[in-house]
């Protein structure tokens, strides 16, 4: 290993113990792990499948404001609480250091979630923990999702977005 090998090193047969291991490792990572990723798109219910659009920050901001005006039912800490009907398109805007608006949804219903940032990168994540999505300025994601358990979910920005990053919280209320 530390000195140069003899010239015929590539002709030396591989021992049986090592062959056993190589076959086992190959089956696990190249066959099972790789295939399972694709299979989960069929059998699993959590995939980052969705549409993506390029969007100017100002255009996206106007889309979200129009949506919030249409379904506003209240206000909390200066942020509108919005209750869109099940099956509809819902919008979230991430900007330093807030999430806009507060969504009020029905448990077990499916919504089409639009998300984008209008300034820097942000990270969408929830507590209690569900999943995290990376957001960019200039790009709008549309993903369908089903909040299937009632409760109050706190949105936490989980990518550093500036010195006020730790205050960037929001809320999704899921009613039973």
Round to whole Å and give the CA distance between 84 and 10.
67
Round to whole Å and give the CA distance between 30 and 40.
16
Contacts of another protein in 13-42 (CB under 8 A): 13-18, 20-22, 24-26, 28-30, 32-34, 36-38, 40-41
| Residue from the set 56, 85, 167, 175 that interacts with another protein by CB under 8 A | 167
Task: In angstroms, give the least distance from the CB of 123 to another protein.
Answer: 5
Round to whole Å and give the CA distance between 139 and 162.
20
Task: In angstroms, give the least distance from the CB of 85 to another protein.
Answer: 18
Residue 127 in contact with another protein, rule: CB under 8 A = yes
Count Cβ atoms below 10 Å from residue 107 Cβ, excluding itself. 13
Residue 132 in contact with another protein, rule: CB under 8 A = yes
| Residue from the set 72, 81, 109, 134 that interacts with another protein by CB under 8 A | 134
171 pairs with which residues across the strands?
A: 154
Closest-CA residue to 113 (of 146, 89, 134, 148):
89
Contacts of another protein in 56-85 (CB under 8 A): 77
82 pairs with which residues across the strands?
A: 72, 103
Residue 176 in contact with another protein, rule: CB under 8 A = no
């Amino acid at each position: 290993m530390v000195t140069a090998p003899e010239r015929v090193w590539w002709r030396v047969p591989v021992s049986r113990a090592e062959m056993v291991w190589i076959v086992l490792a190959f089956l696990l990572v190249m066959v099972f792990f790789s295939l399972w990723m694709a299979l989960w798109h069929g059998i699993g219910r959590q995939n980052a499948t969705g549409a993506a659009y390029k969007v100017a920050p100002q255009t996206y901001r106007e889309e979200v404001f129009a949506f919030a005006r249409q379904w506003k039912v209240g206000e909390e800490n200066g942020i509108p609480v919005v209750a869109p009907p099940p099956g509809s398109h819902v919008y979230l805007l991430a900007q330093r250091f807030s999430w806009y608006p507060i969504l009020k949804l029905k448990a077990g219903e499916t919504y089409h979630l639009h998300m984008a940032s209008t300034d820097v990168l942000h990270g969408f994540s929830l507590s209690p923990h569900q999943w995290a999505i990376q957001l960019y300025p200039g790009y709008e994601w549309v993903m369908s999702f089903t909040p299937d358990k009632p409760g109050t979910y706190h949105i936490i920005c989980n990518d550093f977005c500036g010195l006020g990053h730790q205050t960037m919280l929001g809320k999704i209320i899921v009613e039973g």
